[in-house]
Amino acid sequence: MIPLDHIGIATHNGEAVDDLLKRLSHSTASVHEDIDSQEVRVRLYGKDTKLETIQPLSADSTVARHLSKRGEGLHHIAFRVASAQAELDRMRESGFQPLTEKPVPGAGGKQIFFLHPRDTCGILVEFCQPAKQYAVQFEACDQLEQQLQLTGHCMASDTYPAHRVTGGPLPKRGQSLVVHNVSTQLAREKHNAPAVPVLISDITPASAHAQALHTQWPKARLVILPESVQHNLLPAVLLDFWASVENE
Ligand code: ZN
């Protein structure tokens, strides 16, 4: 089965649901973003199958119309797919009616589209393609994350058992950043390395760390930052890096 990415909840008052989810499940939003094209404010909670709250920012938004007709509550379910465009084509060929001609930007850099609920037992169904992630291997995750937050390049972070993951709205749509802590990773013999296109590190190419990384993640391209790079310059270095890999 295609994995369920999230369940969408429509609400007039995102703050109230935010407070409720804190009390019910100790959840805090990992994404909090206004999608101007759809005139909605979106918050995402959880790691695997997530909850998404959608709050209209204008009386004309589709969600505002949904709320006036059906009231607050469950709004849609969303499946996670590798390619939103390929899935949209597949659905159209199977006789479903997508609500947009092509996928549109969703929260957290996703590409999304919906199917007309007439064809899906009255349930609004979304398909979403996650943002492309670029991994950064970095010894001093805390400083890097702090700098990215200070400069507005990163809003949220989450700590997983094996590594720290930093994400959130970034200047370039469809991209997000994952920061792995080198020391923690290497302290473990085995870890779930993602399909990493690139590594950036503050280590030297000759170091044992660099060589171990190459062995562990042979497909990764190791980009070594000069040791002289100041932490407060890292966001600029990363933006250059994103620009350079944009079309890869
Ligand atoms: Zn959704």
How many angstroms separate the alpha carbon of residue 181 from the centre of ligand 1? Answer: 30
How many angstroms separate the alpha carbon of residue 211 from the centre of ligand 1? Answer: 41
Whole-number pLDDT of residue 204: 63
Domains of the chain, by residue range, sit at 4-129, 134-246
Whole-number pLDDT of residue 188: 44
How many angstroms separate the alpha carbon of residue 180 from the centre of ligand 1? Answer: 27
Phi, psi of 195 (to 5 degrees): -75, 90
Whole-number pLDDT of residue 189: 41
How many angstroms separate the alpha carbon of residue 6 from the centre of ligand 1? Answer: 6
Alpha helices in 71-134 (DSSP H): 84-93
pTM of the model: 0.67
The token pair that represents 96 in the structure block: 């479903």
How many angstroms separate the alpha carbon of residue 122 from the centre of ligand 1? Answer: 16
How many angstroms separate the alpha carbon of residue 87 from the centre of ligand 1? Answer: 16
- The candidate with the shortest Cα–Cα distance to 50, out of 30, 72, 32, is 30
d(CA 44, CA 190): 30
Burial of 132 (0-12, 13-18, 19+ CB in 10 A): middle
Length of the chain: 248
- The DSSP letter of residue 226 is P
How many angstroms separate the alpha carbon of residue 147 from the centre of ligand 1? Answer: 30
d(CA 77, CA 5): 8
Residue 29's identity, in one-letter code, is: A
**Per-residue pLDDT tens digits of the chain, which is 248 residues long:** 899 999 999 999 999 999 999 999 888 887 778 888 889 999 988 877 899 999 999 999 999 999 999 999 999 999 999 899 999 999 999 999 999 999 998 887 789 999 999 999 999 999 999 876 655 655 566 666 666 666 655 544 444 444 444 544 444 444 555 555 555 444 444 444 444 445 555 556 666 666 766 676 665 556 655 555 555 666 666 666 666 655 55
CATH architecture label of 4-129? Roll (3.10)
